[in-house]
Amino acid sequence: MRLTVERKPVKVLPDTKRVIARFFFNGEERAIELVKKIMALDKEEVWSLISPLLQDFSKRHRNITRKLLRNCERVRAYIEMAGYDFKSLDEDCKLLIGSYFTHEYSIESAAFFNPSIVPDPDQGNLEEGQLRVIISFRAVGEGHVSSVVFRRAIIDKNCNITVIPAGNYIDEAEKIHNLVYNKRLFITKAQEADISAQFLDMVTEKLEDRFDYDQLKRVVNEARAQITDPETLRDLNQILALSDSYRRITFSKDTDISDRVIFPISDFESKGIEDARFVKFTDENGKVAYYATYTAYDGYHIMPKLLKTFDFYEFKTSPLNGSGAKNKNLALFPRKINGKYAMLSRIDGWNNYLMYSDHINEWDDPIKIQAPEYPWEFVQIGNCGSPIETECGWLIITHSVGSMRRYCIGASLLDLNDPSIEIGRLKDPLIIPNPDEREGYVPNVVYSCGSIVHGEDLIIPYGLSDHSSGFATVKLQTLLDRLKAGG
């Protein structure tokens, strides 16, 4: 018999008005011809075009002029190839050129789902019994490109949830390359990305054990000048793309959490950043950081990655390495266990695994701890976010796939000191798609990337058929009692 779950009357829907201004490029030849056409305009024509454009799009973007000037700078080489001196261009001309190399992208136009939830670092100015939380979502737009976006919400003492409306603007972060790369880890990840070992040796023998982006770019450009083979040139481009997987991104301090989007930047995540699982992590000294494991996808390769932040303004990203950092579904435990980091994974696509590590970016020797057992999970079982520590054990919210590829949400309880020991697992799903939830981009799916305990309740935000998101609650002690009894 299934446990009683309360679905909250709160839905978060995709909003097509949430747009970002992105760089738009159609190739070198067309860029040069486009610049020539723009430069043939006289000063009055330039002003007559750019003035109404700025008035129109300034209502849709914070500081649109900065974005246009930045995109003009990105095509500086083509402006000069067209025969013009970039430095001599006035601002109106640069703005107009930038506008032709910019387009709007609606980040939520297709879907807004697979939420994860953590306490907000700021818990000030609340009433008794309230909790402020940050919820991340997977937003999907044109071409099914996924990004990570955020909302803030308040949970009151009765577990009522109020999602704060999003702001009027949304912005990408600024990209800053990390200063130093570890050569051993970099080579390992490059090999996993199908870059030939022979070619890697040729490039990396010129690098020190630790190197920065500028050193790598210089070595790659030197090699590119001597190579004409298309396959080898592909490997060169892949190496630079891989370096973009290590980065630091920052958002302006005057942005609301809902204004920030972590959008794909490197080629290795060109098809999306998928299913971020955020967790509040506390180290042995009591210091708190927020981590998220997520999947970078380029249409061919799956690259598990790690995101780290203290304040949700600055984030550092890096690939996860090792034989256990495969496939999707990695979820970090909220603290070390017996002095080691711990991680759940699903390296084979259908069973749950446990890994330990001394280093948060290196994961090897996965141990299978769960396999599909009941008919509603025969196809696969995986986690729905990071484990939750309770006095009875590690509470794992799981997703499972059964007949007709129906996704359900379940739960398991693992031993606190040895999470490879399963104390109990629900024999029946906790949440199944009801008639109002089964229609969407991918029908018959409920899925979560992280839950939270508030008072006596477990709150599970979850995606509805890869379209929108809702919330469900269950009494925590009732759930734990059922799991301790074997499910």
Mean pLDDT by 10 residues, the chain (487 residues): 94 93 93 97 96 95 94 96 95 98 94 97 96 97 92 97 94 73 78 73 80 77 73 70 75 93 81 94 96 87 90 91 87 97 95 96 94 97 97 98 97 98 97 94 95 97 96 98 91
Q: For residue 172, give the 3-state DSSP assignment.
A: strand
Give the pLDDT confidence score for residue 297 in this predicted structure: 82
What's the N-to-C CA distance of the chain in angstroms? Answer: 10
pTM of this prediction? 0.89
As a whole number of Å, the CA-based R_g of the chain is 24
Quote the DSSP letter at residue 47: H
Give the pLDDT confidence score for residue 244 in this predicted structure: 63
Identify whether the C-beta of residue 377 lies closer than 8 Å to the C-beta of residue 487: no
CA proximity to 173, closest of 265, 57, 63, 81? 265
Which residues, in sequence order, are bridge partners of residue 147?
A: 139
With the CA atoms of 435, 437, 441 and 445 taken in that order, what torsion angle do they form, in degrees rounded to the nearest 10?
-100
The DSSP H or E segment spanning 368 is: strand 367-370
Give the pLDDT confidence score for residue 189 in this predicted structure: 74
Residue 382 corresponds to which amino acid? Answer: G
Give the pLDDT confidence score for residue 239 in this predicted structure: 74
What one-character-per-residue DSSP string does 55-108 give?
A: HHHTTTSTTHHHHHHHHHHHTHHHHHHTT--GGG--HHHHHHHHHHTEEEEETT
CA proximity to 262, closest of 363, 386, 378, 172? 172
Rounded Cα distance between 91 and 69, Å, is: 8
Give the pLDDT confidence score for residue 219 in this predicted structure: 80
Which residues, in sequence order, are bridge partners of residue 352?
A: 370
